[in-house]
Amino acid sequence: QVQLVESGGSLVQPGGSLKLSCAASGIFSSTAMGWYRQAPGKQRELVARISRGGSTNYADSVKGRFTISRDYVKNTVYLQMNSLKPEDTAVYYCNAFQFGVDYWGKGTLVTVSS
């Protein structure tokens, strides 16, 4: 059974940093994983993904500020977010795409505000 549990969301000031974690169970190390976000009134969008081979891709809006990484021993995916902006405010969701099925966590709220 696949389970994704996000943590690390918080209120942070503009320019600050946060690190999100996604603890995964039931996921093979070869499964691509990623982070998505959904702001109020907007559609869910891709933030960053890490492939089975370790290659990464990012939304243009976060390139140079966010870094996705993966600990294969802990089966955990991270999203390091630096230089946060108010427009980064959203619920962040962990995603795993395994055997043709999308799995989602329940999300963690990130609020960037002074």
Q: What pLDDT, in 10s, does the model give residues 86-105? A: 999 999 999 999 999 999 99
Band of residue 29 on the pLDDT scale cut at 50, 70, 90: confident
Predicted pLDDT of residue 9: 98
The CA-to-CA distance between both ends of the chain, in Å, stands at: 40
Long-range CB pairs of 50-58, under 8 A, 24+ apart, other chains included: 50/77
The CA R_g of the chain, rounded to the nearest whole Å, is 13
Hey, how many other C-beta atoms are within 10 angstroms of the C-beta on 31? Answer: 18
Q: Which tens digit of pLDDT belongs to each residue from 42-75?
A: 999 999 999 988 899 999 999 999 999 999 999 9
Predicted pLDDT of residue 30: 83
What is the rounded distance in angstroms from the CA atom of residue 30 to the CA atom of residue 76? 13
What is the rounded distance in angstroms from the CA atom of residue 1 to the CA atom of residue 96? 13
Is the pLDDT at 15 greater than 90, yes or no? yes
CA 49 to each of CA 10, 53, 78, 112: distance values in angstroms, whole numbers, following the listed order? 22, 11, 11, 22
Looking at every residue in the chain, the average pLDDT score rounds to 96
